[in-house]
Amino acid sequence: MDSFASDPIPLSMLNAFIYCPRRFYFEHIEGVMEYNEFVEDGRSKHKRLDAPELAGKQRKERDTIHTRSVTISSEEYSITGRLDLLEEKNGDIYPVEYKRSKLKLNSDGEPIIWDNDAVQLCAQALMLEEKYEKKIECGYLYFYGSNQRVSISINRELRGKTKEYIEQAKALVMSGKIPPPLDPELSNRCPPCSLVAICQPEEIRVLQTGNYDEEKKIDRVIPQSYDSGILYVQDQGASIIKKGEYLEIFKKDGEKERIPLQTVREVVLFGNVNITTQAQNTLINMGINLTFLSSHGKFQAVLMPAPQKNITLRFQQFNYFQNPEIRLKLAKEVINAKVQNSRTFLMRGFRSMPEPGENLAVKVLADALKSLEDAGSLETILGIEGNAARTYFSNYGILFKNQVPGGEFHWNGRNRRPPRDPVNAMLSLGYTMLCRDFFSALMTVGLDPYMGFYHGIKNGRPSLALDLMEEFRSIVVDSVVLTMINNRMIDINDFIIWKDSCVLNSRGRKNFFSAYENRKNTMITHHIFGYQMSYSRMFEVQSRFLAAYLRGDLPEYKGFVVR
């Protein structure tokens, strides 16, 4: 971190450091920026101050000269920033810092001034003193919300406090270590913070202490589910354009669809589907991923906005995943969760059968869990997982209702590349979609989807996405396939079978996507925290917990296990 530590600290980041050192770490060191209604409100109120045509230009108002948006820096203190307003009057100069909120008063009617705002203003004064070589006695905080401004004395006490905070911020940058969440007595600062869903302060506290009390309820900091959905376009020869606030899809048969952009979180194209450059640019600017699959559902590419700037997190990822002990530890946790979820899935299925009873597979999977505890290598874990998977899939077909030997959904075990029967065709497509979802979640978090700890490194293979999706294979994809078969939501006419290969046709894929999205929107209870969220959100939560472990925020990564 030495070269990064030599860079000057922006004034806004100094403010963030005093408010919450953890927020400073995310924003300044990892380059993670998120916006909520409070941040957007502040940006909106600063529009006039930040207007490029006004930057650095002087304007006289009565006996005072105003200069807006003044960029300044200090070599002595290694800080930099932009002053909202510089005022000159009677030979004196002083900074004015604008705040979006209202001025608050204490019980005696005196202004309440927070340290982060006062220090930010004092830092501006220190930089001005260095540049103009004249002492600055005061500055002003202007509060948009109440249209009031308060004079702040740049006295010895505030100067000392400001210099101390600057040194503390530099020391944090030099260490490269993420600070813990704020103490509980300061946790009231967390809910309005735009980074709360990334920081996950309450979850981190629980996982750091190891207090996995299932009855403990904590505030949910990540929304339960996504408000928008995934747009699948699979009609060969279709064209997509942007028109106003909509995506318009023109199909070869003359049919047209109009999709509001605000309802779209991701666009997935199958095969020969055309999309205009304007539509692609709009998706990128809105942070909407565009995924390309072959006409049969094989993953090909993703067009997405530039990745997050948090190179420090990816550096930790590359560093950790070269450590055999860490790779073994993570692999054990992920495969343990996978086997547990597979066992739970079978047990639930057996209980719903007309004549439920003990099944040998349940015991075999329980034994596999015990064997994982003593596994001393990735090769051993691969062997345990392989045996567990064979046992699981040899019993998967038992859960099909009204199974007819040789019939359309007769199960004869897992096969792929290519899948040779309808059940395997659905499983393969589902795993592709699950991998794509984790690819997207990992990119959102700032991790590299191609650098994994279990599946190894292979050119073009998103190994980390494959690693984390292991926990969700049975409870998401296998569940979708079983539901579609048992509820007769699909039939043999939804497939194309040729020689030794089988794929879903257009109608079959449409039905499958609908069932898959419904499953992802299913609300589930987190086994540690007790709150509910959709599977879609859980993909992101698990990715963020892995990131927290890699940056040293957590002592271990915990796989997701259904209750």
Tens of pLDDT, residue by residue over 424-463, are 999 999 999 999 899 988 988 889 999 999 987 777 789 9
**Average pLDDT over all residues of the chain:** 84
Tokens linked to 297: 């559902």
Tokens linked to 203: 């979850």
Per-residue pLDDT at 550: 93
Which CATH number applies to 311-550: 1.20.1050.10, 2.60.40.10, 1.20.120.920, 3.30.420.40? 1.20.120.920
Which 3-state string (H, E, C) describes 135-188?
Answer: CCCEEEEEECCCCEEEEEECCHHHHHHHHHHHHHHHHHHHHCCCCCCCCHHHHH
> Omega into 356 within 30° of 0, i.e. cis?
no
| Euclidean distance between CA atoms 484 and 423, whole angstroms | 10
Per-residue pLDDT at 213: 57
| Euclidean distance between CA atoms 126 and 132, whole angstroms | 10
| Euclidean distance between CA atoms 428 and 294, whole angstroms | 13
Q: Where are the domains of the chain?
A: 2-178, 229-303, 311-550
| Euclidean distance between CA atoms 86 and 152, whole angstroms | 15
Which CATH number applies to 229-303: 3.40.50.970, 3.100.10.20, 1.10.10.60, 1.10.1200.10? 3.100.10.20
Give 406-426 pLDDT, tens digit per residue: 456 778 888 888 888 899 999
For the CA atoms of 102, 106, 111, 112, what is the dihedral angle to 10 degrees?
-70
Residues 6+ apart with CB under 8 A from 106: 112
* pLDDT higher than 50, residue 214: no
* pLDDT higher than 60, residue 221: no
The residue among 398, 386, 387 whose CA lies nearest residue 359 is 398
Per-residue pLDDT at 503: 87
| Euclidean distance between CA atoms 18 and 13, whole angstroms | 9
Q: 64-74 and 58-61: which strand pairing? A: antiparallel
Confidence of residue 215 (pLDDT cuts 50, 70, 90): very low
Least confident of 9-18, 260-269, 298-307, 524-533: 298-307
For residues 290-306, one letter each, b for 16 or more C-beta atoms within 10 angstroms of the residue's C-beta and e for the rest, the string is bbbbeebbebeebebee
**Cβ–Cβ < 8 Å for 330, 53:** no
Common-topology check for domains 2-178 and 229-303: no
Q: What is the DSSP string of 16-83?
A: HHHH-HHHHIIIIIS------HHHHHHHHHTHHHH-TTTTT-EEEETTEEEEEEEEEEETTTTEEEEE
Give 241-276 pLDDT, tens digit per residue: 988 888 888 887 778 888 888 778 788 888 888 999
Q: What is the mean pLDDT of residues 152-157?
A: 93
* pLDDT higher than 80, residue 224: no
Residues paired with residue 232 on neighbouring β-strands, in sequence order:
268
| Euclidean distance between CA atoms 187 and 279, whole angstroms | 42
Least confident of 2-11, 16-25, 187-196: 2-11
Tell me the Ramachandran region of residue 494: left when phi exceeds 0, alpha when psi lies from -120 to 50, beta otherwise: alpha
Position 21: which residue type? P
| Euclidean distance between CA atoms 173 and 252, whole angstroms | 57
How many other C-beta atoms are found inside a 10 Å radius of the C-beta of residue 216? 12
Give 59-99 pLDDT, tens digit per residue: 887 788 888 888 889 999 999 988 888 988 888 898 999 88
Q: What is the mean pLDDT of residues 494-512?
A: 87
Confidence of residue 187 (pLDDT cuts 50, 70, 90): confident
Radius of gyration of the chain (CA): 28
The residue among 502, 511, 503 whose CA lies nearest residue 480 is 511
Give 281-294 pLDDT, tens digit per residue: 888 887 787 888 87
Tokens linked to 90: 């009677």
Least confident of 4-13, 50-59, 243-252: 50-59
Confidence of residue 126 (pLDDT cuts 50, 70, 90): very high
Q: What is the mean pLDDT of residues 44-49?
A: 55
Position 468: which residue type? L
The residue among 80, 49, 42 whose CA lies nearest residue 66 is 49
CATH fold of 2-178 reads Lambda Exonuclease; Chain A (3.90.320)
